[in-house]
């Protein structure tokens, strides 16, 4: 039967083009997502400043939560006392302590590097790259500094120049003793003792660079070092993992890549299975007469199944093989876009090894095989006489298996929204809300002929009144060929539903986050700095005439370890550091018990939701694991109201800041006194402090919105890829369904219809397809959007511009008409007699 399958393909190659295209693009997308997945899993970050160290010992950035794990939001430091223990390990030639802290060379009291934050280090750590002096010498005193060539050029500095450098919010003068070659990030080097003082974390370092003795294997050395490290708090890194110590933000981006690739790769697989089954089903349906004749001359059902599966797998194998190269290109292109838009750091290396390629090819072939099995089973189970009747006018569609599958998917579609509304909170609701529309789309697709028959009966009256004879013919065709019409409607429903559900899910989430941020902000002016605000600046701000209140602001994350947090959530609770004296006037934080004014020392204000879940009361002491893996015992001085899913714990800014990467607050919120405008005075005050600027609260909100848009951009890009794939599949299905009607069009023209009458009839059929597909797609999208919107925003309707709906509708209509009318016009080109005599 395989030989027969090959011969069939030679004469019916056009019928398999749609299947080929669906598998080709599906394989490319799955392979691309496989590359992103491998990149996230490997997290290959080549070391840069630490390249000469064979082993890097750093704090363990992974935190275990229940059966899962996540990354700490801040850098986890290690004890400096560990250095002596590392030196005693066999094969260690030297151990160099490395520290990093924000340090900015100033011009006009602003960093010369702009928004790129330069880092200060000890000169001893320069050997870990190694950096080479291009001019001058190493810093020999507390007032000397070495600049990299990029910073020196921006500052206009040479050896011997005096530069102003801001560290820990204060500026002082340094003499440039030397200039080194530039690395990937701006770097400044201080004398070792001075660097340790500026670092501000006594007894701690960021990491150790371990230099191996000649002939020592790095992996073996790493294992010996791991054996002497404290359990769970420190790790020994070798190879590409060393860069993660240098760039801990890469670990967080790897989680995003893994989740993103998994979600969209899975969606591509489901859509491919759906589309391939649809196109194969349409191909087999158009060949039922051929199948019936084969059965009539003695071909067994098993042989028919083998033939259909053989044909499908030949096409799928060719399509998958050709889809590998585009998949490799697409994966690299997607990752480059992520890096260009700041979603992934540029230090992470993209990897597309043979494993995701083989997995992608295997997945694509398995998807095609599964779809072929379903279609082949139906083709083989039809009796010869029934097949002949079905070939003329298909009417059988609802088998017991199809009904059972439809009910299963509909049941899942009912359960998922209930779980979303009753169990999920905040943005994590997308985990159950997202798949709901796809589940409903599959369930409705399985029942599409019945639904189509009902909706055609609803629409036929109005369409006949508007379109006349063309509408009458189109209605007769639609009612008689409801199964084929449903096959054309289903992909339109799928494309519309996926586009609307995913796009409005992103806009709804963004609007909810923005609303929470906006609702909490009462400030009129904001002072901010990328290198940290000087200590005591908040007090100076409060002394400015016209200022009613001011509060420093620090954001981080952490977990409650005592009492037990039964939520076991991987995502850390949002932690916000504020000043007790000005928080009530600058932030809208409803207090149910206690007072924010009591936030001083080791204290915390707890959201009432988590407080109730963990049985926390006013006056209790709780233990929190902060973002840098430090434990803090905090006394509860207030209970506050927080929006479910967006709850925030409030700590004193001075306490929380010491556990962040900068070590200082980055913002001061200022509330003006009634009738006063202290903006000019605050701008002047900001200009007197290094790296500080004064902006309006509206600018702060726009910045927050821009950050959220950057994160959403990832989803929009991948949604566009998935929707484009679905649209291509839609076009193929419609073209295939229309092109095969050449004989029907020929018979119509022999009975007196003109070309334009047939085209008008097809136009009305396109209206049926577009209207029914768009309506069903919109309904499908609401199964995701309504429960998600209720959960995240407390609103029945999703948020977002109506233009999204209009663009999706217009795109679906244009796609339907072009993919239907263009092949119809081509099918009408032969003479009527030739077309009527053609073999379908």
Alpha-carbon distances, residue 820 vs 109, 279, 760, 777 (angstroms): 65, 15, 11, 19
DSSP summary character for residue 517: H
Tally of residues, the chain: 840
φ, ψ dihedrals at 61, nearest 5°? -80, 0
* 64 or 627, greater pLDDT: 627
Residues 456-481 have a mean pLDDT of 78
Lowest mean pLDDT among 100-104, 422-426, 690-694, 776-780: 422-426
Residue 8 has pLDDT above 70, yes or no: no
Closest to 494 measured CA to CA, from 315, 277, 334: 277
DSSP 181-248: ---SS-EEEE-HHHHHHHH--TTEESEEEEEEPTT--HHHHHHHHHHHSPTTTEEEE-GGGHHHHH-T
Confidence grade of residue 440 (pLDDT, cut at 50, 70, 90): very high
Q: Which residue carries 């899942």 as its tokens?
A: 412
Residue 396 is predicted with a pLDDT of 64
Helices 430-446 and 482-520 meet at what angle, rounded to 10?
A: 170
- Calculate the CA 720 to chain-centre distance: 13
pLDDT band for position 484 (50/70/90)? confident
Q: Give mean pLDDT, residues 531-559.
A: 92
Q: What is the 3-state secondary structure (H, E, C) of 583-641?
A: HHHHECCCEEEECHHHCCCCEEEEEHHHHHHCCCCCCCEEEEECCCCCEEEEEEEEEEC
pLDDT over threshold 60, residue 40: yes
Is residue 730's pLDDT more than 70?
A: yes
Positive/negative CA dihedral, 295, 297, 299, 300: positive
Please say if the pLDDT value at position 5 is more than 70: no
Spatial CA neighbour of 216 closest among 242, 238, 235: 238
Residue 747 pLDDT > 80, yes or no?
A: no
Percent of the chain having pLDDT more than 70?
A: 91
**Strand spans (E) along 99-186:** 101-107, 110-111, 119-122, 133-136, 144-148, 162-167, 170-180
**Highest mean pLDDT, choosing among 49-63, 294-308, 372-386, 464-478:** 49-63
Q: Is the pLDDT of residue 469 over 90?
A: no
Per-residue pLDDT band for 224 (boundaries 50, 70, 90) equals very high
Give the range among 112-121, 600-609, 783-792, 828-837 with minimum mean pLDDT: 828-837
pLDDT of residue 286: 65
pLDDT score at 60: 92
Q: Find the helix packing angle between 430-446 and 400-422, rounded to 10°.
A: 160
**Are the C-beta atoms of residues 527 and 537 closer than 8 Å to each other?**
yes
User: In this model, does residue 173 exceed pLDDT 90?
Assistant: yes
Q: How confident is the model over 206-233, as a mean pLDDT? A: 92
**829 has pLDDT over 60:** yes
Lowest mean pLDDT among 337-351, 572-586, 590-604: 337-351
pLDDT score at 600: 92
Which helix (H) or strand (E) segment holds residue 494: the answer is helix 482-520
Instruction: Give the span between the Cα atoms of 687 and 347, in whole angstroms.
Output: 34
Q: Residue 491's pLDDT is what?
A: 82
pLDDT(287) > 80: no
**Mean pLDDT, residues 658-662:** 90
Q: Which residue has the tokens 């007196």?
A: 752
Maximum mean pLDDT: which of 262-276, 319-333, 746-760: 319-333
Query: Using one digit for the tens of pLDDT, what is the confidence trace for 354-413?
Result: 888 888 888 888 888 887 787 777 666 666 655 555 555 555 667 787 888 899 999 999
Is the pLDDT at 424 greater than 60? The verdict is: yes
Residue 281: predicted pLDDT: 72
Structure-token pair, residue 104: 């900015």
pLDDT for the residue numbered 479: 78
Question: Residue 498: pLDDT above 80?
Answer: yes
Choose between 829 and 612: higher pLDDT: 612
Instruction: Of 2-11, 132-141, 584-593, 821-830, give the lowest mean pLDDT range.
Output: 2-11
Q: Mind listing the pLDDT tens digit for each residue in 749-794? A: 788 778 888 888 888 888 888 999 999 999 999 999 999 999 988 8
- Determine which of 274-283, 329-338, 691-700 has the lowest per-residue pLDDT on average: 274-283
Whether the pLDDT of residue 830 is over 60: the answer is: yes
CA 202, chain centre distance (Å): 38
Distance of CA 405 to the CA centre of its chain: 30
pLDDT at 222 over 60: yes
Task: Tell me how far apart the alpha carbons of residues 428 and 531 are, in angstroms, rounded to a whole number.
Answer: 32
Confidence of residue 629 (pLDDT cuts 50, 70, 90): very high
Sequence-distant (≥ 6) Cβ neighbours of residue 774 within 8 angstroms:
492, 493, 496, 809, 812, 813
Q: What is the pLDDT of residue 475?
A: 80
Lowest mean pLDDT among 113-122, 389-398, 457-466, 765-774: 389-398
pLDDT confidence tier of residue 708, bands split at 50, 70 and 90: low
Model pLDDT, residue 101:
92
The pLDDT assigned to 767 comes to 87
Residue 728 has pLDDT above 80, yes or no: no
Which of 306-315, 659-668, 707-716 is the least confident region?
707-716
**Confidence at 710, pLDDT banded by 50, 70, 90:** low
568-581 as b/e: b if 16+ CB within 10 A: ebbebbbbbbbbbb
Bridge partners (DSSP) listed for residue 525: 670, 696
Question: What digits encode the pLDDT tens for the residues 502-530?
Answer: 889 988 988 888 777 777 888 889 998 88
Q: Report the candidate in 482, 498, 441 with the shortest Cα–Cα distance to residue 768.
A: 482
The SS3 assignment for 796 reads: coil
How many Å apart are CA 769 and CA 35, to the nearest integer? 37
> Of 573, 608, 615, which is closest to residue 591 (Cα–Cα)?
608
pLDDT at 727: 77
Higher pLDDT, 387 or 606: 606
Task: Name the token pair of 467.
Answer: 């379109």
Mean pLDDT of the residues in the chain: 85
Could you tell me the two tokens for 414? 């009912």
Q: Report residue 427's pLDDT band, with 50, 70 and 90 as the boundaries.
A: confident
pLDDT at 357: 86
Task: List pLDDT tens digits, range 59-69.
Answer: 999 888 877 78
What is the structure's pLDDT at 77?
A: 93
């Amino acid at each position: 039967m395989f030989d027969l399958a090959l011969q069939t393909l030679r004469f019916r190659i056009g019928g398999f083009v749609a299947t080929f295209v669906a598998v080709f693009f599906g394989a490319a997308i799955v392979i691309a997502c496989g590359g992103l997945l491998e990149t996230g899993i490997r997290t290959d970050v080549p070391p840069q400043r630490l390249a000469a160290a064979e082993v890097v010992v750093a704090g363990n950035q992974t935190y275990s939560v229940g059966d899962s794990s996540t990354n700490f939001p801040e850098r986890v430091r290690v004890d400096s006392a560990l250095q002596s223990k590392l030196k005693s390990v066999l094969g260690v030639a030297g151990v160099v302590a490395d520290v990093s802290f924000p340090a900015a060379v100033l011009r006009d009291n602003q960093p010369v590097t702009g928004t790129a934050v330069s880092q200060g280090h000890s000169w001893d750590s320069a050997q870990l790259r190694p950096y080479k002096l291009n001019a001058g010498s190493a810093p020999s005193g507390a007032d000397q500094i070495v600049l990299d060539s990029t910073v020196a050029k921006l500052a206009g500095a040479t050896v011997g120049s005096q530069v102003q450098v801001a560290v820990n919010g204060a500026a002082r003068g340094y003499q440039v003793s030397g200039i080194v070659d530039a690395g990937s990030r701006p770097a400044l080097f201080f004398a070792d003792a001075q660097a340790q003082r500026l670092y501000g974390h006594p007894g701690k370092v960021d990491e150790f660079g371990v230099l191996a003795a000649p002939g020592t294997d790095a992996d073996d050395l790493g294992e010996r070092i791991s054996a002497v490290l404290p359990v769970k708090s420190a790790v020994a890194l070798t190879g590409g993992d060393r860069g993660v110590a240098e760039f801990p933000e890469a670990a967080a981006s790897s989680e995003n890549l893994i989740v993103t690739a998994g979600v969209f790769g899975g969606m591509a697989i489901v859509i491919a299975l759906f589309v391939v089954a649809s196109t194969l089903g349409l191909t087999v349906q158009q060949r039922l007469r051929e199948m019936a004749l084969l059965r009539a001359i003695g071909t067994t059902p098993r042989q028919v199944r083998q033939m259909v599966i053989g044909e499908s797998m030949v096409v799928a194998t060719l399509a998958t093989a050709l889809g590998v190269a585009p998949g490799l290109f697409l994966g690299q292109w997607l990752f480059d876009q992520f890096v260009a838009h700041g979603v992934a750091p540029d230090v992470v290396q993209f990897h597309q090894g043979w494993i995701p390629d083989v997995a992608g090819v295997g997945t694509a072939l398995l998807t095609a095989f599964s779809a072929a099995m379903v279609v082949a089973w139906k083709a083989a189970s039809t009796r010869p006489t029934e097949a002949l009747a079905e070939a003329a006018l298909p009417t059988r569609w609802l088998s017991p298996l199809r009904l059972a599958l439809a009910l299963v998917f509909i049941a899942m579609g009912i359960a998922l929204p209930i779980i979303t509304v009753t169990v999920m909170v905040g943005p994590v609701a997308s985990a159950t809300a997202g798949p709901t529309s796809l589940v409903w789309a599959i369930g409705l697709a399985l029942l599409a002929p019945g639904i189509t028959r009902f909706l055609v009966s609803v629409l036929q009256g109005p369409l006949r009144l508007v379109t006349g004879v063309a509408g009458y013919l189109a209605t007769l065709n639609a009612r008689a060929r409801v199964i084929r019409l449903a096959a054309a409607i289903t992909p339109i429903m799928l494309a519309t539903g996926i586009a609307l559900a995913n796009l409005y899910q992103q806009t709804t989430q963004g609007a909810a986050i923005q609303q929470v941020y906006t609702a909490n902000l009462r400030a009129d002016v904001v002072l901010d700095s990328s290198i940290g605000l000087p200590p005591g600046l908040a007090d100076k701000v409060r002394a400015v005439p016209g200022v009613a209140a001011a509060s420093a602001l620090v954001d981080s994350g952490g977990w409650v370890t005592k009492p037990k947090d039964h939520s076991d959530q991987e995502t850390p609770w949002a932690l916000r550091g504020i000043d007790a004296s000005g928080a009530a006037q600058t932030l809208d934080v409803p207090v149910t018990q206690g007072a924010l004014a009591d936030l001083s020392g080791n204290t915390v204000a707890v959201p009432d939701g988590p407080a109730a879940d963990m049985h926390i009361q006013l006056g209790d002491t709780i233990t929190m694991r902060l973002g840098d893996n430090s434990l803090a015992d905090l006394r509860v001085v207030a209970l506050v109201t927080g929006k479910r899913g967006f709850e925030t714990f409030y700590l004193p800014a001075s306490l929380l800041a010491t556990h962040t990467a900068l070590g200082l607050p980055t913002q001061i919120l200022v509330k003006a006194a009634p009738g006063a405008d202290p903006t000019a005075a605050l701008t002047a005050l900001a200009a007197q402090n290094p790296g500080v600027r004064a902006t309006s609260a509206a600018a702060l909100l726009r910045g927050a919105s821009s950050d959220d848009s950057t994160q959403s951009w990832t989803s929009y890009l991948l949604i566009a890829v998935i929707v484009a794939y679905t649209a291509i599949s839609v076009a193929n299905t419609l073209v295939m369904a229309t092109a095969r009607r050449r004989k029907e069009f020929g018979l119509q023209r022999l009975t007196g219809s003109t070309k334009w009458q047939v085209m008008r009839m097809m136009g009305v059929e396109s209206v049926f397809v577009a209207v029914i597909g768009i309506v069903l797609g919109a309904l499908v999208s609401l199964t995701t959007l309504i429960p998600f919107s209720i959960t995240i925003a407390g609103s029945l309707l999703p948020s977002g511009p109506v233009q999204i709906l209009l663009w999706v509708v217009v795109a679906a209509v244009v796609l339907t008409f072009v993919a239907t009318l263009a092949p119809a016009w081509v099918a009408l080109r032969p003479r009527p007699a030739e077309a009527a005599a053609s073999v379908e």
